[in-house]
Structure formats: structure tokens, C-alpha cells
Chain A
Amino acid sequence: MRIGTGGMYKTLFIFWIALAFFAVGYNTLKIIPEIREWVPISDKQKREKIFADGYTFPSFIASSTPENSTTLLFAKDGMIFYYGRYLIYPRRLVWVNGEKKFSELTKNKKYTYIASYDNQTEINGYKKTATFSSKITGKKGAIYQKQ
């Protein structure tokens, strides 16, 4: 070992050990506020808190469409689609986030159900069957069924 470098290495190493003890203390101190924040609330409330409409809107789709159905989802927020896809299986989602593509897909009436999130829209040949209003973000949505 070269003189000088070893001393520096040793100093860094002791600092690292100190940091590790600090991490243990810091994590331990965080437990109480985390218990207060998360333990008293239900699983549903936890999901609302973490995912907001990413959880509530897909739950709304699930309650408004039959199992094993495929719904065309018109939403700009990717979280709604990806978490929704995870949450509501065996219901399936097909995602579209642009007006032009959405118009193309609705013209041929391929999908029995359409879910629209944060997009005010009227769809020819479809009837609005349920509406959504988020208590968290205030955003609106709806389910449409092919007529």
C-alpha cells in the first residue's frame, strides 16, 4: 500500500460506516410517521392515494363493463391504461391517446365499449351508459356502449 492513499481510503471507509449507522437511525425514525400515514387506511384508500385516477377510473370501467369484455380506452394519461390493464383483467383495454386515431377506431364500431377519460366527446353510434367524476382530480370520464 502506498503511503497517503491508504490513509485516505481508511478515512473514506470510516465515513462510510458512519453513514451506514446514520441510515439505520434515519430508517428507524421514519417508521412512526409511515405507520401513521399508511396503517390506518384501507387497501382501496392506499391505491387512491398512490395512483389517484390511475386506480379510480379503471375501477369505474370494471364496474361498468362485463368480465372478459374489451374496452377501447381514450385517455392521454398512460397510467390510466397501464395500471388499468393490470387492475381489471380479465377485462381488456385497448389504448388510444390521439383524436385522429380515436375517430378512425370508432367509425367501424369494432369495440362494444369505449371508455373516455378527461376527453369531452360524443361518439356516433354509441350511447353514454355511465359517467365518472374524480373526487381526487376533478377530471371527468364516461363509458359508451355500442347501440
Chain B
Amino acid sequence: MNIVIVLLTIIFITVIGFAFLKCFGLLTKNGTLFSLACSYGLGVGLVTIQLFLYSRVQIPWQRELLLFPWFLFLGVVLIIKHKEFKLPDFKKVALSKWELVLLTGIIISAGYVFFEALLRPVNTWDAWSTWLVESKIFFLDGKVNAEIFNYLQSDYPLLPKLLGSFIYSMLGHIDDTVILLTSFAYYSFLALLFFSIIKKKFGTKYALLFTFLLVTTQNFVRHGGRIEAGLSDLPLGYYAFASYLLLLEYRLTSKAKNFFLLNVFLGMTMITKFEGIPLSLLIGFCAFIYMVQMRLHKHIPLIFFWFLPFVDWQLYRKVNDVGANYFPGHQTVFSLQKTTNALIGTFKEMINIKSWNLLWIMYFYALFIFGAKKLTELKILHFVVLMQLTVYMFMYFFTANNAPNSSIERLLLHIAPLVFYYLAVVTYSPGINFLTNKTK
């Protein structure tokens, strides 16, 4: 029964996100699949904001009180925008044998991730010591209790924690096994996001091929539900990738509503994990440069939506005397041995075929032989990926208690979807015709 409730909650969260997009006329020309893929992440942001607001104004986290405003919202949106609610027409899709093989591989992989998520209670250190401990405490206390941050010595952002609390609120009790279905949801919606954008650019067959490569990458499989699921790294990868795609959309259209949605996603990237701060700033910086270049100064106020969640969280911490715990625990140090370990450790992870198949090997090889192919979208992608890697390297070089052996496989997950996108774009043209003919 718990499985059904959590799955229904995930669907409900997605519907909320989808209704929000329709309500504000966002992503109207990007196809239903792309909108649905963005909807889950957006819905998560909306329900977590709801919990935080309820807590601030002392409204109890009762299921009815949480659901009522959304049902009201959905009802209003359905009445006003009912013509825009269309599901993809699956009847038109006729797949070749090769496409069916790929689709079967994708479904088997997703099925395996689902199965793994439900096999054991959550057991990764980060998952219970950082994220779910607060999900549980907030749920039991019925609010975000500021005093608890100092008890736990935690100042990580709230999005993954409040998602857990929302799921527990819907369940009415704690179940730290089915909660891993939220990771499965990020895995699935990331795959859908990736598929929808590649399909739009290069056709179904090619999109299925690259989605197959993505979903079979063991590190995604593990973080989607298996034992290593840390609950926040895959979401950060999802939000960063969605933000990048929305940046491309903004560059294509220069529309304020696309810039608004980009800022909403950048805001969520920032409050998913500390590593989301530089990632968000890098993508946001590229958007800002474009805005200045195109003299779109009237869009500047929309940046408010980017920084609002993070600034609000910082103000909340200040007002409630929530101490800084992460950065004081990672003081500045430097040694040659630490630097060497960081470089060797990261290199070893990148050539670890068991975790990544050939993703990173192909990325650097493709970067060497194809470069950015003079495409601005790829230059931006390299800027984000390589700068974020540099941030991680500097973190290893200069901060105590940080080394690649305990974290690099998780950190690379934040930028891996972008790398998949790059490879999908550059592989299309170099003449792998046996894959790309008759694709459209």
C-alpha cells in the first residue's frame, strides 16, 4: 500500500508542476514529454516551499491542509486551461525492431532500479545522516524546527529534506524504504527529459539510443534506487541539466517567461545541495551575459526568483541562530600529497568503466577531437562542466576532510547529464550513419 501511495504522490507532484506550467503558459512549444519531465522537479519545488511556508505561519502539516490548496489550484487551472491538457498521442508511434530493443533495454533498466529501491531500507550514510534524518524529524515535529539544525549540526539546504517530509506526510508515517522511490522518480524524469530533448533534435531512434546509454550507466542505476542512493546528487544532476536546457530555450526565444522558469530552476538547483551553488551561478552567469548582450534589461527583475529561496533560507538561518557547520568543518589546508591524491582519485573514477561505462573517456576524447564544434550551446556546456570540475578539484586541493575516494563518484553525477548531452550532439554528426539513418 505504501508503494501505491508514494507513486500516487509522485504523480500528484508532477501534475502540480504540469498545471503550474500550463497556468503561466510556460514551455508551450516544447512538447508534452519535455513539460512532463520538468514538471516533477518543479512540483517538488512547489510542495517543499509549501511545507516551509506552512511551518513559518504555523499551519499544521495535515494531509488535508496540504492537499486542499493544490486541488483548488488544479481545479482552477483545469477550468481555465483545459484545452492545453493533452497527453502525447502514443498511437502514432511505430517503432522499428532496433528501437524496440533499445526501449526494452530502457524499461528493464528502469524496472531494475525500481526493484532495487524497494529491496532494502535506505542505507547510504549521507542519505540517513543528512537528508532523511531531517525529513523524519520535521515530519514527527510537524514543522521545520530551527533548533534541530544545531542539534544535528546541519546547515544543508532544505529541498531534498522537505520532499521526504512531504512523502511521509502523505503516508501518515515513516517508511524509509519506499522513500527511495523519490530517487527512482528523479532517475525516470531525468531520462525522460533527456529523451525528449534528443528526440526533438535528432529523432526517436537516436534519442532511444542515448537514453539507453544514460539509464544503463551504473552510477545512475545506483543513485536511482540502489544502495548508494544519496538522495540529493541525482536531483542536483536533474536540476542542473533542466536549467541548462532552459537556458538554451531562453537563448532561442529571448522570452521573459522562459527566463522566469530558468530562474525558478536555478533557485531549486541552489537549494538542493551546496554544490548546486556554483553550478547554479555558472549557468545563471551565461544567462546573464546573454541578457546583457541582447539588451534584455527588462528581464533583470526576474532574477529575484533565482535567489529568493536561497536568500530566504540564509535569512531564516540568521534569524533562528542556525550555525554554519559545513564550512567550519572543512577548513583550508593544502599539501602536495592531497593535490596529487585529488588528481589521481578523480582520474581513476573517470576511467572506472564499472561506474560510468565510457562516458568520461568519450567526453574527453570527443572534446579533444571535435571540440565545441563552434556551437555556442556546447561552449556554454563545456564552460559549466569544466568550471564545476575545477570547483571540485579546488575543494579537494584546499579543504580538509574532502577527498575523491569518498565523494567524486557522487559529484560527477551533477554534471554527467550535461556530458551525455554533449556526446549526443557531437556523435550525431561524425558519421555514425548506421545509427542515425531514418531517424526522423
Contacts and interface: CB of A to CB of B under 8 A. Distances in A.
A28 B366 CA distance: 31
A43 to B, nearest CB: 7
Interface stretch (B113-121, B263-271, B285-293): B113-121
Given A34-B119, A89-B140, A16 B133 contact: no
Interface stretch (A7-15, A107-115, A128-136): A7-15
Contact of A20 (B115, B151, B152, B213): B213
A85 B152 contact: yes
Contact of A16 (B109, B362, B431): B362
Interface string B329-358: 000000000000000000000000100011
A9 B432 CA distance: 9
A123 interface: no
A39 B152 CA distance: 33
A105 B177 CA distance: 37
Nearest to B123: A50
Interface string B357-385: 11001100110011000000000000000
A126 interface: no
Contacts of A16: 213, 357-358, 362
The main secondary structure of chain B at its interface with chain A is helix
Given A28-B108, A82-B125, A89 B357 contact: no
A24 B370 CA distance: 30
A76 interface: no
A98 to B, nearest CB: 18
Interface in B202-252: 209, 212-213, 216-218, 221
B121 A46 contact: yes
Contacts of B358: 12-13, 15-16, 19
Contacts of B151: 92
Contacts of A24: 105, 108-109, 216
Contacts of A51: 123
B120 A6 contact: no
A9 B140 contact: no
Interface residues of B, number: 42
Nearest to A81: B129
Contacts of B430: 1, 6, 9-10
A141 B120 CA distance: 27
Contacts of A90: 140
Contacts of A23: 109, 216-218, 221, 357
Contacts of A19: 353, 357-358
B143 interface: no
A107 B314 CA distance: 38
B137 interface: yes
Contacts of B115: 31
A7 to B, nearest CB: 10
A28 B221 CA distance: 12
Contact of A86 (B109, B120, B132, B369): B132
Contact of B216 (A10, A20, A31): A20
A43 B177 contact: yes
Contacts of A86: 128-129, 132-133, 136
Contacts of B362: 9, 12-13, 16
B112 interface: yes
Nearest to A4: B369
A35 B119 CA distance: 8
A127 interface: no
A27 B115 CA distance: 11
Contact of B369 (A5, A13, A34): A5
A20 B359 CA distance: 11
A2 B431 CA distance: 11
Given A15-B358, A20-B105, A90-B140, A9 B216 contact: no
B119 A12 contact: no
A13 B216 CA distance: 14
A89 B108 contact: no
B120 A38 contact: yes
A38 B136 CA distance: 24
B407 interface: no
B427 interface: yes
Given A5-B369, A19-B353, A82-B129, A46 B120 contact: yes
Nearest to A20: B216
A127 B212 CA distance: 62
B133 A47 contact: no
Contacts of B221: 23, 27
7 contacts: A5-B369, A17-B209, A24-B108, A27-B221, A46-B121, A50-B120, A89-B137
